[in-house]
Structure 1
Amino acid sequence: MKHVRQGMVSVAVLALLWLTGCKASTPPADSSDTETTAYRSSAPQRVDIRGTIVTSRYDQGQVMLEVENYTPSPESRYNRAYVLVLPTAQIVDPEGRTISLSELRQGQNVAILMRGNGQGNFVGMGIARKIWLEEAF
């Protein structure tokens, strides 16, 4: 009985150490702590492309966006990106509400995390994982 009690105490101490050691030192990527006072956005500070939707083409439930960042920034990986938006992509408005794919329009400011490749820092191509609509820069 003494060994069982000692084993239970050991397991409880290990579980306590494991649970306290899991706390991340940085906030998650979709945290709203990265908002700046210049514009309201719930997007993370560093994204694949942050810019304006130049063109939007709809075909069979998918949307192809061309997004251009007119002022290169260290917070954006690409200056221009061609992004395929599937119906499964998560799209968030400035208030943090999820919106539909049909609400994406030419001229809107967006921040996008995507899967895909690019050519250096100039042109990116990929599939959108998450899109944040932003207010004017």
Structure 2
Amino acid sequence: MKYIQQGFGQLFILVLLTLTACQTSTRATNAGTETAASQSLAPKRVDIRGSIVMRRYDQGQVMLEIEGFTTTADSRYNRAYVLVLPTSQMFGLDGQTISLSELQQGQRVAIILRGGGKGSMTGVGVARKLWIENPYEL
């Protein structure tokens, strides 16, 4: 009788560990899915968030002039002159990478720059990451 009680006790611990391990695995999968979904959106704080006013293409590089909508704490500059290289990370509305040819005048973008600026109003630099944003969201 004593061995049966010990066997049930060990079986109970084994089942409890198995159920806990499955629950941990499910949580990790959900966290990975949430992270993948949030990577397609620009972070709240960026160097410049605004509309492409001017776009010039020359020898595989694109020069953008971005004008910010308003002065907010979420954007570092009101206006920026950004050089976009083919090596810059660029993301579309769906979170997929895009090419330089998909950047058009009038699009709303959020950009993290590599480089400095002139004071607190105008940013000048190379785009490290660029996200195209939905034009209907404010």
**1:65 counterpart residue number:** 64
AA at the equivalent of 2:127: A
- Please say if residues 49 and 69 of structure 2, whose CA atoms lie closer than 8 Å, have aligned partners that are also in contact: no
Which structure 1 segments of 5+ residues have no match?
Answer: 1-29, 34-40
Aligned partner of 2:109 in structure 1 is: 110
- Residue in structure 1 matched with residue 99 of structure 2 by the alignment: 100
Structure 2: give runs of 5+ residues left out of the alignment: 1-35
Where 1:102 maps in the other structure, the secondary structure is helix
Of all paired residues, the percent bearing the same amino acid is: 62
User: If each structure's helix is expressed as a fraction of its own residues, which one has the higher value?
Assistant: 2
- Cα RMSD after superposing both structures: 1.7
Give the TM-score normalised by structure 2: 0.69
Equivalent pair of 1:57/1:64 in contact (CA under 8 Å): yes
AA aligned to 2:94 is E
Q: Which residue does the alignment assign to 1:88?
A: 87
1:32 aligns with 2:38: yes
Larger Rg: 1 or 2?
A: 2
Aligned pairs, how many?
Answer: 101
Q: Is the 8 A contact 2:51 2:67 kept in 1?
A: yes
- Is this contact kept in 1: 2:117–2:123, CA < 8 A? yes
